[in-house]
Amino acid sequence: MKNLHIISVGASLLSNYIKKKDKERLQKMDNNEEPLPNLDNDKEYSKILSNKKIVSDIYNYVKEKPYEASAELNSLKDFIDNKKIDEIRFIITDTNISKLASVILARYLEENLKIKVDFGPKISGYYKEYDMNIKSAESIFIVSLSKLKNNLIKYIAKKNKSNTYKIYINATGGFKPEIVILMFVGSLTKTTVYYKHEFFKKTVFIPPLFLPYLNSEHSKALTNLKQNNIIKGENITKFKEKYKNTYSDFINFNLIEENYNRNGKLRLIKLTNHGKFLADLI
């Protein structure tokens, strides 16, 4: 199986690079090097894209300190160390900043780690559309997020159909709405979602947010639990046997709660608030 990671790309690389250059300028009072534009000035970055000297300097910064330079690379570190990345799909916005960051990161991954990188359809760049007017920019951005959702679902379904990929979604970089879409699609397609926790410095796997569909067995099991409220003793074994194809879904999606005694024996099972909500909808 190939390990495929879908990751949204933000501006952390450029933000960290700017901080690095600012620090160098403070240490060298005679440094006349022009600072990079502010990150909210996307138009100016069209010039940076064609400036080979700056692009090369940013790339060398990534090569020297990849996990310090980029939040995206840092979030991939555990998988890189364990050789659990074969391919990466970048989700980027249609902005000069996103293009610059993603091109440099893709070059680093392909040249230094031999990881294949491809690019999904671009998300409309809010700053790029802002010149029209705020209302139009917001509308285009929202439509683009909807397209992102549909494109991701289609892409993941196609990869799953081949039965040759283990797919991960990395919800680290990019705008917050992009992260929400990634998490939603992860739950909908039962794809593993993770991010790098800033405080603990560890990869955190996010549990599925919801059960993507209810089949007839799900409905019967939820109705059973709702009617009985709590299932105890021998009835637990009977319930688990009767709904063996469903029970793991209920655990994974936090629809039921298991309660154990001091000896570690399963004492009872009952619906969680999420489970009760679904049961009431049936």
Q: What is the pLDDT along the chain (282 residues), one digit of tens a residue?
A: 999 999 999 899 999 999 998 888 777 755 666 778 888 888 889 899 999 999 999 999 999 999 999 999 999 999 999 999 999 999 998 889 999 999 999 999 999 999 999 999 888 765 555 565 666 767 777 788 888 899 999 999 999 999 999 999 998 877 788 888 999 999 999 899 998 876 667 898 988 888 888 889 999 999 999 998 899 988 999 999 999 989 999 998 889 999 999 888 999 999 999 899 988 888
pLDDT computed for residue 32 by the predictor: 62
pLDDT computed for residue 58 by the predictor: 96
Q: In the β-sheet with 192-196, what is the strand arrangement from edge to edge?
A: 116-119, 87-91, 2-8, 165-170, 192-196, 203-206
CB 86 within 8 A of CB 4: yes
pLDDT computed for residue 200 by the predictor: 64
Give which of 193, 197, 177, 173 is closest to 185, Cα–Cα.
193
pLDDT computed for residue 140 by the predictor: 76
User: Could you tell me the domains of the chain?
Assistant: 2-206 (3.40.50.10770), 216-281 (1.10.10.10)
Query: Taken in order 178, 205, 202, 58, is the CA torsion positive or negative?
Result: negative
pLDDT computed for residue 125 by the predictor: 61
- Phi and psi at 6, nearest 5°, equal -100, 125
CA 50 – CA 142 distance, rounded (Å)? 30
CA 177 – CA 154 distance, rounded (Å)? 19
pLDDT computed for residue 201 by the predictor: 72
The 3-class SS string of 16-44 reads HHHHHHHHHHHHCCCCCCCCCCCCCCHHH
* pTM of the model as a whole: 0.83
